[in-house]
Structure 1
């Protein structure tokens, strides 16, 4: 009689144990029994719960959403002949060099702008959109003097970037750069417009009045857009200058790029006027030394720009410019350095009369010069 009762209790315990085993994995309570307690999590903060986030607006976010879809990555392949290759056995006969930059679409039928140095000498050009689509690009023309190039892809209904007015840009405004620096696609950096009309950004005698910004720009950003807080393109990122603790970046004003691109689309190249002079920055000390050592020049002891050479049979020579002339104005704008003289000439047109005001031996004269077209290399 004892044995059956013992077996009966074992059976009951076994059944209960099986039930517990099957339920432990899901932490279910047995009928009529309290549920298993959950272990308390360590408290890492006693701050009030964060409120539910509400959708917020940001001028930078909104601007990037407008312009970003039209910003592209440009991959290039340059093929060069290796003079030591082939039969000399020192490497392949043809060498390939890969490059990368940025650009932005300005027409929905596949016209885009970039830097001339991005596509210079390229045998192959590949254009990749942020949505992943990739096209073969054709360089319609490039202008090394302003570093602007136009590329065309065969496509339609592409997203386009809105072009702004760089003449209205003012220091202190937002400056947003979009591009593909160091191979990191669709990178956005932001800063402010630090300065405008930087004619000495990358050397004297430049033909571009650069926009200076403190937005971070790195190799690969070249050719990408600089946009304002309304998502409008105001420049093309083209150059950087490293400085201790920070970098300075420079962009081609979009109005300049627009003018060059229109010429490339019309005739395949850009036209630049020239007058044919070599200039020198003048300081009071330099003027004093010149006046003391030669009787050929009598220069005022001021800061300015003086003609040191006039090319034979040039527009300047035909217009009456001479060495030692201190140039005061080009057209109706005063000039203080060689870059401003260059920009003044660029504002003129080939063959049209351009007034240049000079100070010659104490006498102010207005000379009329007709710029000619600068010969193209190659």
Structure 2
């Protein structure tokens, strides 16, 4: 996912992926690095707020049962939809007890620069210099919401990733030690478990049925101010990760103008019925009224896998790509260092194929122009990424590509997205 900058809680960020080759980057090459399915080791920030490019900071009917654990279900009464503004109060009274504060901390070890070990350097500053690796504790605060009476909590991965300790504070003041059951950096979803029974829970809605203009209510702990409520509307749905500025995530975000600040990360975004339709995750610093949330259908799907297995497998191809435009085509064909000649006028240009990746094993090459996947015409990189994400690891995608003016059909068998440690 980006150009990263520190929020008020934590300090660590990660770089974006590199460009197409070692020469001076061309505009189409920069675009290719911005939108990619390689996603090798997509990282997460360790903070109460989520950052992306342009200084991103964090952070209708529904089913009658909510469950993330086999055999565990919770039924709750549906809140009436009222035209009176007091419906917000009804929602907060009903959902508020199930929204929690999450305090996390981790110990970071920092190695001393080599210069500190230079004898000449120590001759002048020896008494003032540390003699070994330095440790510091990083702390952060986020939000979450209880989805099972036995203590399962949905939150953002970046709120708890890498944490040594996780403390969960309920609205009634009770404090529990939380256990991280799993985190998924690709979607920024995590599950935390506390040992408790008969807990208040939220009701999950259907984010696929959201429409712009609907009411949106956010509850969380922004800037350390617990149980803060803000309201607005659903401003848009289906915002791609590249549009939001976090291309290493595989999420189509909900956009809202409900105020979201650092510390809101992991908290619920609710509709007028009091159903959770999203998980708040990001705002854009400097913008007015732009916040983003992970659709609850995505968060619930990932949460189910994390609760069951502790991890999530995402399919991948192993390519970097860019949307083919007349400008991109002209730049490539006029580049004396380019080894390919593009004849197609539209499609998705493959600008890099990772070694030993599914795409490489299938015979996909740099310069190929993807026209269709499983018979569906693809016109932008987000469509390709969605097609891949909707597939299963080990499934076959039928790729129709143009190569040197000829149409070639290639079956590509997806593999599990490698983790950062692999």
TM score, norm. by length of structure 1:
0.78
1:96-148 CA distances to partner (integer Å, 9 max, x unpaired)? Answer: 22210000001110000101111122111110111111111011111111111
Of the structure 1 ranges 207-216 and 360-369, higher mean CA displacement relative to structure 2 is found in: 360-369
Partner of 1:353: 396
* Aligned pairs, number: 321
Q: Secondary structure at the match of 2:178?
A: strand
Q: Which has the higher contact order (CA 8 A, sep 6+)?
A: 2
Contact 2:372–2:401 (Cα < 8 Å) also in 1: yes
* 1:323 corresponds to which of 363, 366, 378: 366
- Whether 1:70 aligns to 2:112 is no
How far apart are the structure 2 equivalents of 1:112 and 1:235? 14
Which residue does 1:239 correspond to in 2?
Answer: 282
Query: Could you tell me how far 1:323 is from its partner in structure 2?
Result: 2.0
| Among 170, 184, 187, the residue aligned to 2:228 | 187
Unaligned segments of structure 1, at least 5 residues: 1-55
Matching residue of 2:292: 250
- Displacement of 1:205 in angstroms is 5.3
Are 1:272 and 2:314 an aligned pair? yes
Aligned equivalent of 1:25: none
Q: Does 1:138 align with 2:179?
A: yes
Q: How far is 1:73 from its partner?
A: 0.3
3-state SS of paired residue (2:384):
helix
Matched-pair contact (CA < 8 Å) for 2:188–2:249: no
- Cα displacement string for residues 55-79 of structure 1 (whole angstroms, at most 9, x for unaligned residues): x663322322332211100011222
Specify the structure having the higher radius of gyration (Cα): 1
**Does the CA-based 8 Å contact 2:217-2:230 persist in structure 1?**
yes
How far does the alpha carbon of each residue in 1:161-202 deviate from its partner, in whole angstroms, 9 at most, with x for none? 111111111111111111000011111111111111111212
What runs of 5+ residues in structure 2 fail to find an aligned partner?
Answer: 1-83, 113-127
Give CA deviations for 1:294-315 in whole Å, capped at 9, x if unaligned. Answer: 683223334x421112223321
Aligned pairs (5 A) from 1:1-378 = 58-81=86-109, 83=111, 88-89=129-130, 94-199=135-240, 200=242, 201-204=244-247, 206-244=249-287, 246-293=288-335, 296-302=340-346, 304-331=347-374, 333-378=376-421
SS at match of 1:74: strand
Output one character per residue of 1:6-50: Cα deviation in whole Å (capped at 9) or x when no partner. Answer: xxxxxxxxxxxxxxxxxxxxxxxxxxxxxxxxxxxxxxxxxxxxx
TM-score using structure 2 length = 0.70
